[in-house]
Structure 1
């Protein structure tokens, strides 16, 4: 909690002080930045000092097995911390590099895409398996059949869906779809098992299932948009057309509009297939 709040203050300092040149930085004010920096040092330093003095009183006597839900949750938390460090490194490295007199560098989208992909693969693997494992201690053989079925379904769907939807297969799309299908298949399978056995389920459980399915949908959207999206800059006049992915875009006209406190133009574009 100390780290989380300290990083929130660090993010506020970066976007408010003007030390970071980014589209996300706004309301640049060095004086305000110094106030936030002093507040961050005071809060973080005080919290760490208090933890150093009283930390020995915080003890945990619970010993969980390696194959348990607690261990899988811990593994995913470690991966999320690693993802946070990737973002922190990518954000601060250009600033540190410039302050050391080594020149200006830019950490762009390829760095984050590569690092996050290989962090999210094990994250998705543990996320799908986690709800199937018991608290405290469990045995892998108890869910072996379900995992094998989910693995086969995931491999088939991760290749079949990109081929059916886009008529071509890209490796990174398959990786993304494998993560999404693994999470979705196991979430649905585990929910079906609970319902068929008559196991009592709470609203919080269905919230977890919805969250897992939502993450699967998010990963699917990222995988397809990153690998199949097309961007083109074209100069068009009224009546001109351009075709992208079997869709025909026709620039019809520009209409003048008048708002409450502005005037502008609206382009009318027809889309046909």
Structure 2
């Protein structure tokens, strides 16, 4: 009965979404306040109905209701409760319901926190948001019903893919979807602005917090996914340019560009058309990621669906949303006023340059991701586009972006003094060059990768340049008296920028060191044998069979020593799950300031040993620390009170005069 309530709630949500998509939009066009006011209650009601449906499916998983086909195919009574709950979104139907729930949640959030929004903009944005909901609710009801019954119900379920039975599943997809779907709100505001024919500083002030929230969630989702892959796949890496990884990275790049271009719209009333286009592209790339995961064109642990009918449906949604929005953009964007003018050398110019570089990077990743699929569809043969292509094409695009990031905050709006900015950064430039030379010397000149020194130099340039800009803002050296008071008065957005940019510098250190200097040892290791890795002695002490809640594990015990002295014990596992019967690998990781010791146990060797894989990954913790700083910086910026106040005073007064 609860399942039927959930199914009926989805039908009611579709009906409400249809009303929300039409009535407020027509009301905004006619200036009818009563019709526009329908948007808020409809968004609230839609969210409540979808929340009931999501709760009903969660209840089915928690109680192991195998009369539902979805539960029978993806759960088992032996699963720990965490994975029963996380299993709700560990499949196509459930993850799609999570997507729709988050979509409705953002609409509901606009009704709660958007009370100061102009009525016309708010009603149009919620109507566009409802149009997206209509498409996805139709998709789930017509092709992917999570409440389909199974007669007769089995005694037990088939279980969840063991690769997904990990805490990562409980957190990675929800954060990723909050990011994906969060960009729908920026998209809805962009379409609403096109329909209204007005993009100004007030619009940028409204759209920035929603974009920033989506960006923070997507960053957290990508980082959690990388960490999950790092410790469960057993190959010692955290990113492989997998097509589904790329599907999340592309909207992140577009969203990052959108955040920065919205600042220019707000501060200088410029880059309006470009900002609108970025909002469309960011959500369009999110929909593309959904298509890749659910169409069956990819084979991956990330992919859910293999039914071509579902792929066609989501492709139609993608074409309708992106094609319709770009058509509207082509019709309305030329009519927008250009706004404030600026010189190429200015803060606006620097932000635009970085926007173009990020957009080009996203296009590069898009090309590398889709080209093999297109070539296969046209019978041009199997084409593999992997890390060598992306590393050779994408990373060089990011180097000039990092160079500009350190200098851009020091430039003036409208017209900047490039020579003056570089003069203020000359000592940091000299230090960065010195670091590059030192790294080159320490790795033995050409014995190591040539780009290692460049990577560390970029990190020093960005990190110290960001801190130097902060010291100048608060007058730490020029006016030391009262510097702390001035620091306390800096807006949250300034502190968020400092932490975000510095976090990227820390991330670059981890990326460069782990890519250039990782050491790997794969061998057959006997009990009592010691292998030297990264200055550590790794001794295999024992291998035992241990039971788990729904698996049996082969657990190895390694003693870790340094300079002949035991300092730690590591216990990696190789697990065999009972239902479905499938092996997985769980690495044991010892993290330190200089890097990670990474240990994996494999299969037994016929000669009495065990296959072991031992890695030392330099500065990998710096990757996670830098990512965390990015997220914290985004959260601090999101807490800026100006996002809650609304439109700038000057924009409001200008509108009143008009």
- Tell me whether 1:130 sits opposite 2:419 in the alignment: no
2:559 — aligned with what? 270
Structure 1 residue 167: Cα displacement = 7.3
2:88 — aligned with what? none
2:425 — aligned with what? 147
Where does 1:135-214 land on structure 2 (aligned, <5 Å)? Answer: 135-160=413-438, 170-195=449-474, 196=476, 197=479, 198=483, 200-214=489-503
Q: TM-score, normalised by structure 1?
A: 0.92
1:53 — aligned with what? 331
Return the match for 1:103 from 381, 384, 404. 381
Where does 1:34-113 land on structure 2 (aligned, <5 Å)? Answer: 34-113=312-391
Q: Which has the larger radius of gyration?
A: 2
More deviation, 224-233/258-267: 258-267
Contact 1:243–1:249, Cα closer than 8 Å, also in 2: yes
CA gap 1:182/1:250 in 2 versus in 1, 3 angstroms: same
Question: How many residues get paired?
Answer: 272
Give the match's secondary structure for 2:343: coil
1:219 — aligned with what? 508
d(CA) in 2 for partners of 1:161, 1:175? 9
Structure 1 residue 61: Cα displacement = 2.7
Q: CA RMSD in A?
A: 2.0
CA gap 1:268/1:162 in 2 versus in 1, 3 angstroms: farther
Return the match for 2:529 from 220, 232, 240. 240
Give the match's secondary structure for 1:231: strand
CA gap 1:23/1:140 in 2 versus in 1, 3 angstroms: same
Give the match's secondary structure for 2:360: helix
Return the match for 2:297 from 9, 12, 19. 19
Give the match's secondary structure for 2:523: coil
d(CA) in 1 for partners of 2:363, 2:395? 14
Contact 1:15–1:28, Cα closer than 8 Å, also in 2: no
d(CA) in 1 for partners of 2:341, 2:323? 32
2:39 — aligned with what? none
1:220-253 deviations in whole A, cap 9, x for unaligned?
1010000100223212232222222332211111
d(CA) in 1 for partners of 2:311, 2:377? 18
Gaps of 5+ in 1: none
d(CA) in 2 for partners of 1:137, 1:36? 46
Give the match's secondary structure for 1:189: helix
Q: TM-score, normalised by structure 2?
A: 0.40
2:399 — aligned with what? 121
d(CA) in 1 for partners of 2:365, 2:302? 14
Gaps of 5+ in 2: 1-278, 563-658
Contact 1:154–1:185, Cα closer than 8 Å, also in 2: no
